[in-house]
Structure 1
Amino acid sequence: MSDKVAKHKQPWKSDELQKLQALAAKGKGLKEIAKALNRTEESTKDAARQHGMAIAKVR
């Protein structure tokens, strides 16, 4: 089973949130952060919003 299936609708762990915060602070884009965390872009965006993090808009 792939990690994508295993993490479907799974709660975020503290280490994942720390990595999300670190990548967002470095100015990484949503797509890149989601891929690094093996999460969907929607889930990543929601988690960032819930924890008061801003993700850079990359063009």
Structure 2
Amino acid sequence: MAQDFVRHRQPWKPEELAKLRTLAAKGMGLKAIAKALTRSEESVQDKARGEGLKIAKLR
């Protein structure tokens, strides 16, 4: 079963947005960024798309 996230639908803090921008700029993958931010992959992907950030697709 999927992991349960305690932070369900929590607003994004400015520090989290800054960290998202930094990690995306470093070329980290979606799964690693989500784990670092303790957010779901879907949440991170939606926020990155909304902020106009590109997340690396690791192969």
Structure 1 regions of 5+ residues with no counterpart?
A: none
Count of matched residue pairs: 55
Greater helix fraction, Structure 1 or Structure 2: 1
Alpha-carbon RMSD: 0.6
Structure 2 regions of 5+ residues with no counterpart?
A: none
Alignment-derived partner of residue 48 in structure 2: 48
Alignment-derived partner of residue 35 in structure 1: 35
Q: Which amino acid is the alignment partner of residue 52 of structure 1? A: G
Q: Percentage identity across aligned positions? A: 64
Runs of 4+ in 1 over 6 A off after TM superposition: none
Q: Write out per-residue CA displacement over residues 6-35 of structure 1, whole angstroms, 9 at most, x where no aligned residue.
A: x11111111000000000000000000000
Distance 2:39 2:52 in 1: 18
Alignment-derived partner of residue 20 in structure 1: 20
- The TM-score normalised by the length of structure 1 is 0.89
- The TM-score normalised by the length of structure 2 is 0.89
